[in-house]
Chains A and B, each alone.
Chain A
Amino acid sequence: MATKSLKAAGHQLAQTQKQLDLLQSGPFKDGDLPLFKDKIAQSGQFPLKAKKLEILQINLGYMCNQVCAHCHVDAGPDRKEIMTRETMQQCLDVIAQTGAHTLDLTGGAPEMNPDFRWFVEAASAAGIKDFIVRSNLTIIRANKKYHDLPEFFAKYGIHVVSSMPHYTKGKTDKQRGDGVFNASIEALKMLNKVGYGMPGSDLKLDLVYNPSGAYLPGDQAALEKDFKKALDTDFGIQFNALFAITNLPISRFLDYLIASGNYEDYMYALVDAYNPAAVAGVMCTNTLSVSWDGYLYDCDFNQMLGLKVASKARHIKDYDTSLLEGREVVISQHCYGCTAGDGSSCQGAVA
């Protein structure tokens, strides 16, 4: 299990250009597989254009207490990129003026940002309908100062979305690190205890499943049924919904695909599973992703590839609906990850 980010290890894939070059080469260069833009053009869906903003996703920083093998952020304890209070204030100004119904905080572990609680308190005053925090669960158990997070989340009516790759210990620890499964189970019990995910409670607790290997997620509803049964039977844990998310071929997952000799087969699998109906629901058409330093991206994946929005407004301080709505979404071959099978987004399947 890696303990360093690709960046700290000086790995060549820490350079976004190297990743983008790879996504243009191999079967895509040889013409064995179609480029994403040509594929969506076949069904008259090129260019993809941003519609009305519904979801504002803010990345509070790349620091994390875990170093997951598949992480597209390349997050870890050694990452120092953290959003400042000044940038948070710029985000708050935008939250107040957009009609976005969902505010989605992510990271790294967003809770590790020293101004996390200040930001949540301030943002909750804006009256956003769905206020999500993506929590990796183990952070709640990582240090005493985080033990009251479930109560803090509940106080502000936060919608907690947590990663859980499998309901068995072996698979979870292999992807996310030794001890992660047990710590996650403890954290889920703490969240249940304050009402999260419990029948009749307004406090929503959703789980994110993404495959621990070079394969696509299966049917979301069937996986949700299996997770619910196993977590309830084995641990008495309750949750609301399971989001099945496809791993995109970038950053640490891309490194894994290449190192394990699975890259080409995985790209074939993504292209084979291409579903035009999923293109209609991709998140980049209703989402804006804000990086720790305030720049704007069509999605969190584009953020990690350094692909900023194709608009004159490229920073949260320059946010302008008239410039951003209708912008052309920046795409490459990683986008096949969101259009395979039932589709994939930060809210799970889309088709």
Chain B
Amino acid sequence: MDNNYYDPADLRKFGKISEWAPELGEKFFDYYNSVFEEGALSAREKSLIALAVAHVVKCPYCIDAYTKDGLQKGITKEEMMEAVHAGAAIESGATLVHGVQMMNKYNKLSM
């Protein structure tokens, strides 16, 4: 075992998670693959959503995977960066909206 929590080469071993729980693994990958097929949203749109979420959950494997997926789909770097900002805006908004709770509590405790 390496002395790192993350190894880029582990990404291509993702499928191995099925070895220790085949039924659940198979269900997960079936679901996963279905999600990213063309649907009411295009595969291209879903790839950008995945890229934004990958940044929000800070998953290095997912960032590698969906940057490459975006390139394969012809998505431009400008589109990719805007998607990352969309994720970042929601994430920072989620922090800031709690400011209302802080204000409420402050007001309640103050004379």
The answer to whether residues A222 and B68 also contact, given A168-B76, A268-B12, A272-B12 and a CB cut-off of 8 A, is no
Q: Specify which of B12, B68, B72 lies most central, judged by the most chain A CB atoms within 10 Å of its CB.
A: B72
CB distance from B2 to the nearest CB of A (A): 16
Nearest-CB residue, chain B, relative to A271: B12
Taking CB atoms and an 8 Å cut-off, the chain A residues in 207-239 that contact chain B are 209, 211, 213, 215-219, 222-223, 226-227
Neighbouring B residues of A171 by C-beta, 8 Å: 76
Q: Specify which of A166, A167, A216, A219 lies most central, judged by the most chain B CB atoms within 10 Å of its CB.
A: A219
The answer to whether residues A222 and B76 also contact, given A215-B68, A268-B12 and a CB cut-off of 8 A, is no
The answer for the CA separation of A216 and B12 in the assembled complex, in Å, is 15
Nearest-CB residue, chain B, relative to A213: B71
Once the chains bind, are A216 and B72 in contact (CB under 8 Å)? yes
Count contacts between A and B, CB distance < 8 Å.
33
The answer for the CA separation of A215 and B70 in the assembled complex, in Å, is 10
CB distance from B15 to the nearest CB of A (A): 9
The answer for the CA separation of A209 and B74 in the assembled complex, in Å, is 10
Neighbouring B residues of A213 by C-beta, 8 Å: 71
The answer to whether residues A215 and B76 also contact, given A222-B42, A222-B43, A222-B44 and a CB cut-off of 8 A, is no
The answer for the CA separation of A223 and B73 in the assembled complex, in Å, is 7
The answer for the CA separation of A226 and B44 in the assembled complex, in Å, is 10
Once the chains bind, are B76 and A218 in contact (CB under 8 Å)? no
Once the chains bind, are A218 and B72 in contact (CB under 8 Å)? yes
The answer for the CA separation of A311 and B55 in the assembled complex, in Å, is 55
Neighbouring A residues of B71 by C-beta, 8 Å: 211, 213, 215
Task: List 14 other contacts, CB 8 Å, given A166-B74, A211-B72, A265-B8.
Answer: A167-B74, A168-B76, A171-B76, A209-B74, A211-B71, A215-B72, A216-B72, A217-B72, A218-B69, A218-B72, A218-B73, A219-B73, A222-B42, A272-B12
Between-chain CB contacts (< 8 Å), 7 pairs: A171-B76, A209-B74, A215-B71, A222-B73, A223-B73, A265-B8, A265-B12
Q: Which residues of A are interface residues toward B (Cβ below 8 A)?
A: 166-168, 171, 209, 211, 213, 215-219, 222-223, 226-227, 265, 268, 272
Q: Which residues of B are interface residues toward A (Cβ below 8 A)?
A: 8, 12, 38, 42-44, 68-69, 71-74, 76
5 smallest CB-CB distances across A and B, nearest first, come from: A218-B72, A218-B73, A215-B71, A215-B68, A215-B72
